[in-house]
């Protein structure tokens, strides 16, 4: 694997930098970070930092909903079974059961906290998504579920005096002491560097979708958490498993926008330019097959028909009901003059969710003492090789709570200042334009480490990434654009290496040169760490 070249991205002198202290430090403001802050604040002083605003997260962008057993016809056993089946042999059954059984109470708690879930006959309304055997996906304001949940949690966080918030704070690196324990972070708030010492740190930095040219993720999803934990020596797991969402709006020249899977759950069909419904040719479940199956089918059909995209057909939907049930998508379509009663919606797959991440145990603990991880940055064992739709918000909610509860039980932990001095040698190599590297890297990842992969593509990608690293990773930057580029290069190389190691196809990882699943050699996780 990639060698550990550097522990920190910037020079560190703990004696000369502005400093703060807190019992519990939370990095990230998605569902996992917000829920963790709320829980930890019951017994500790909490400082929550995020690199942009509280609303700049994948949670805020989530449309479809949150999966949980809320109806009498559903069962824990069924939700567990669906999750295990979708995970293709790599789920941790104990973790799956833990998350599924904790879900309903925490979802109903959100309702009590003012999250405006849609209701039917006085109960939280649910719908069906691909891979689910029952209607169990709770939604809010139609397709604004993530936003509604985030707003509810933000309101709660702001009402708790034990929680302090620092927005527009860029976490550059986690700090560790001589024993390898996490003692806090170093970051930048505006023009000034700052160290935050913490007894315990919860990493909830989200995903890595911005590594790809085509993505549903906001621009902030640049894999910062994965890269900083790699530098700190944590164990990372299953980075080859990037999930691609089958349907994002495809308008040439416009940024990609998610078109929720719930549309297919409620009757939308996929057709090609001739109006032919092709999904039954690829899977008997049709449009309700798991996301990896639908994404590959769309890609295959695009190649077969020499098309740049396919279409979602919702012309049979009642136009008024569509506008009420899917207000965001309706507004999006109208902004591009798409009349859903007459026109087809052009779509194609995009990078959506990092299934792998920082390895954690059942309490959210990482391999680094006093460092926890939850949400998309973590690899808890819930998703295996492929995430079941709408299980992501559920996982963040459950593990944000669990990690904070464990921290509250660690009575002996206090923030501890230690002396850290780290100086990076000045590089005399040529400085590349990080904006150019950023754009080129995203195109390379989409082309070579995308929905399907081959040995040649993965080897070529590593060669190119290593070249960029020679001229970027040896530099020190003083602004987020440079650090994000370094983090993206680091994580992209790790993802490409693990994808090359997994010489089989499983879940969201598909090798055209190894199209079969190989349980004999690869029914296992691929773990990496810079400390070994």
User: Do 365 and 270 touch, CB atoms closer than 8 A?
Assistant: no
Distances in Å between the alpha carbon of 327 and those of 55, 56, 143, 240, 313?
Answer: 19, 20, 7, 34, 17
- CA 282 to CA 278: how far, in whole Å? 7
Q: Which residue is listed with tokens 């798991």?
A: 290
CA angle 391, 57, 27 (to 5 degrees): 95
Structure-block tokens of residue 336: 């591009």
Give the C-alpha distances (Å, rounded to integers) separating 357 from 249, 366, 378, 495, 496.
27, 11, 5, 10, 14
List the catalytic residue out of 291, 365, 442, 453.
291
Q: Strands, DSSP E only, in 370-478?
A: 371-373, 378-379, 421-422
d(CA 188, CA 172): 7
**CA gap 35, 66 in Å, rounded:** 15
Q: How far apart are CA 14 and CA 3, in angstroms?
A: 26
Q: Is the dihedral of CA 448, 449, 453, 455 positive or negative?
A: positive
Query: Are residues 302 and 348 in contact, defined by beta-carbon separation less than 8 angstroms?
Result: yes
Query: What span, in angstroms and rounded, lies between the C-alpha atoms of 17 and 261?
Result: 47
101 catalytic residue (yes or no): no
CA–CA gap between residue 525 and residue 356 (Å, rounded): 10
**Would you please indicate which residues are annotated as catalytic (active-site) residues?**
291
């Amino acid at each position: 694997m990639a060698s550990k070249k550097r522990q920190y991205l910037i020079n560190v002198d703990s004696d000369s930098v502005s400093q703060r202290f807190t019992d519990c430090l939370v990095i990230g403001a998605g569902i996992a970070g917000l829920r963790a802050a709320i829980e930890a604040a019951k017994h500790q002083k909490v400082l929550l930092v995020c690199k942009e605003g509280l609303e700049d997260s994948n949670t805020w962008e989530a449309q479809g909903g949150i999966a949980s057993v809320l109806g009498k016809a559903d069962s824990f056993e069924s939700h567990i079974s669906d999750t295990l089946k979708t995970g293709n042999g790599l789920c941790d059954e104990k973790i799956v059961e833990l998350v599924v059984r904790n879900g309903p109470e925490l979802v109903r708690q959100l309702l009590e906290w003012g999250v405006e879930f849609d209701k039917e006959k006085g109960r939280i309304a649910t719908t069906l998504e691909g891979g689910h055997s029952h209607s169990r996906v709770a939604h809010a304001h139609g397709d604004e579920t993530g936003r509604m949940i985030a707003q509810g949690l933000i309101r709660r966080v702001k009402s708790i005096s034990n929680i302090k918030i620092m927005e527009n704070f860029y976490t550059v690196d986690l700090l560790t002491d001589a024993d390898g324990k996490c003692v806090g972070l170093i970051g930048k708030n505006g023009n000034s560097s700052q160290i935050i010492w913490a007894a315990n740190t919860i990493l909830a930095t989200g995903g890595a979708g911005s590594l790809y040219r085509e993505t549903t993720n906001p621009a902030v999803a640049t894999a910062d958490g994965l890269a900083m934990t790699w530098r700190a020596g944590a164990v990372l797991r299953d980075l080859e498993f990037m999930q691609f969402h089958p349907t994002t709006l495809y308008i040439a020249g416009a940024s990609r926008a998610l078109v929720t899977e719930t549309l297919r759950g409620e009757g939308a069909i996929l057709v090609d330019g001739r109006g032919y419904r092709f999904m039954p040719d690829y899977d008997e479940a049709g449009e309700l097959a798991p996301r990896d199956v639908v994404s590959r089918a769309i890609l295959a059909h695009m190649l077969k028909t020499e098309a740049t995209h396919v279409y979602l057909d919702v012309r049979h939907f009642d136009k008024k009901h569509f506008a009420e049930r899917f207000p965001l998508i309706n507004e999006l379509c109208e902004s591009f003059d798409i009349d859903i009663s007459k026109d087809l919606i052009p779509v194609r797959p995009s990078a959506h969710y990092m299934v792998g991440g920082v390895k954690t145990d059942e309490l959210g603990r990482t391999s680094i003492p006093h460092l926890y991880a939850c949400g998309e940055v973590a690899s808890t064992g819930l998703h295996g090789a492929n995430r079941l739709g709408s299980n992501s918000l559920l996982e963040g909610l459950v593990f944000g709570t669990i990690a904070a509860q464990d921290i509250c039980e660690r009575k002996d932990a206090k923030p501890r200042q230690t002396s850290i001095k780290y100086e990076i040698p000045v590089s005399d190599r040529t400085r590349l334009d990080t904006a150019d590297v950023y754009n080129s890297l995203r195109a390379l990842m989409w082309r070579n480490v995308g929905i399907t992969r081959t040995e040649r593509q993965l080897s070529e990608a590593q060669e190119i990434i290593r070249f960029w690293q020679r001229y970027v990773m040896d530099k020190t930057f003083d602004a987020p654009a440079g650090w994000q580029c370094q983090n993206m290069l680091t994580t992209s190389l790790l993802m490409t290496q693990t994808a090359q190691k997994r010489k089989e196809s499983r879940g969201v990882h598909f090798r055209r040169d190894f199209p079969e699943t190989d349980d004999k050699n690869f029914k296992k996780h691929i773990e990496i760490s810079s400390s070994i």
